[in-house]
């Protein structure tokens, strides 16, 4: 079993579930309000999306009502959380999480929750594999990524609460840097996944040399 990949997938899926739950809770708190379109905001008035760094937690929802969106979002998010914590290493559970993440994206769970959950699910599909394809990377790059485990993952999950603290006190700064910070956050997450894969690949058992027996 690839332990670094399992840890990464579990943490990412858990974060996606918790973030989705937060979206759902905020949507439920708005009550039975009709959605004005496919784009909704989990945090309702007086929150103004253009004036806060988190944009009032924008989301996509195919459901016509914020209360319904919130309830369904919480249910789907909790299913992801249960699978992430207790069953992520089992066959095909990664694909189930990826599928649920897409559902989460479509019912109001938020863009980030859906994308992070999808990446977590796809990462989980590699928990019990030989990580085919990693050997195509140049050895220096592979070793560099392996040496960055688990520090990239720690940096990613350290940034998440830090941005909320900074947003509380320096809202305008984070608002102005959003176009830069969002891609960097995504790049950091992907790099953490690659670091986990490189670490597990370098620690794999060497093939048995039958000729030497």
User: What are residue 59's DSSP bridge partners?
Assistant: 40
CB 140 within 8 A of CB 25: no
Examine the pLDDT at 211 and tell me if it is beyond 70: no
Average pLDDT in the chain: 93
- For the stretch 78-91, pLDDT in tens is 999 999 999 999 99
What is the predicted pLDDT for the residue at 207?
A: 46
What is the predicted pLDDT for the residue at 205?
A: 56
Helices of type H across the chain? 3-29, 66-86, 93-107, 111-124, 139-147, 151-169, 171-176, 178-202
Torsion of CA 180, 185, 187, 191, to 10 degrees: 150
- For the stretch 95-112, pLDDT in tens is 999 999 999 999 999 999
- pTM metric for this prediction: 0.93
Examine the pLDDT at 135 and tell me if it is beyond 90: no
- For the stretch 146-197, pLDDT in tens is 999 999 999 999 999 999 999 999 999 999 998 899 999 999 999 999 999 9
């Amino acid at each position: 079993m690839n332990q670094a990949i399992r840890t990464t997938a579990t943490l990412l899926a858990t974060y996606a579930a918790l973030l989705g739950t937060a979206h759902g809770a905020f949507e439920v708190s708005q009550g039975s309000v009709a959605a004005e379109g496919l784009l909704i905001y989990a945090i309702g008035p007086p929150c103004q999306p253009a004036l806060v760094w988190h944009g009032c937690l924008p989301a996509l929802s195919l459901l016509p009502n914020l209360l319904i969106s919130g309830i369904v979002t919480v249910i789907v998010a909790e299913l992801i959380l249960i699978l992430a914590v207790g069953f992520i290493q089992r066959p095909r559970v990664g694909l189930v999480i990826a599928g649920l993440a897409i559902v989460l994206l479509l019912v109001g769970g938020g863009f980030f929750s859906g994308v992070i959950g999808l990446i977590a699910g796809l990462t989980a599909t590699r928990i019990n594999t030989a990580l085919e394809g990693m050997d195509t990377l140049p050895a220096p790059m592979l070793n560099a990524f392996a040496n960055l485990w688990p520090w990239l993952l720690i940096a990613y999950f350290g940034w998440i609460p830090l941005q909320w603290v900074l947003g509380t006190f320096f809202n305008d700064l984070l608002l102005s840097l959003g176009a830069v910070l969002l891609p960097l956050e995504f790049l950091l997450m992907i790099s953490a996944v690659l670091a986990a894969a490189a670490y597990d690949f370098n620690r794999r058992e060497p093939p048995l040399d039958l000729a030497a027996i």
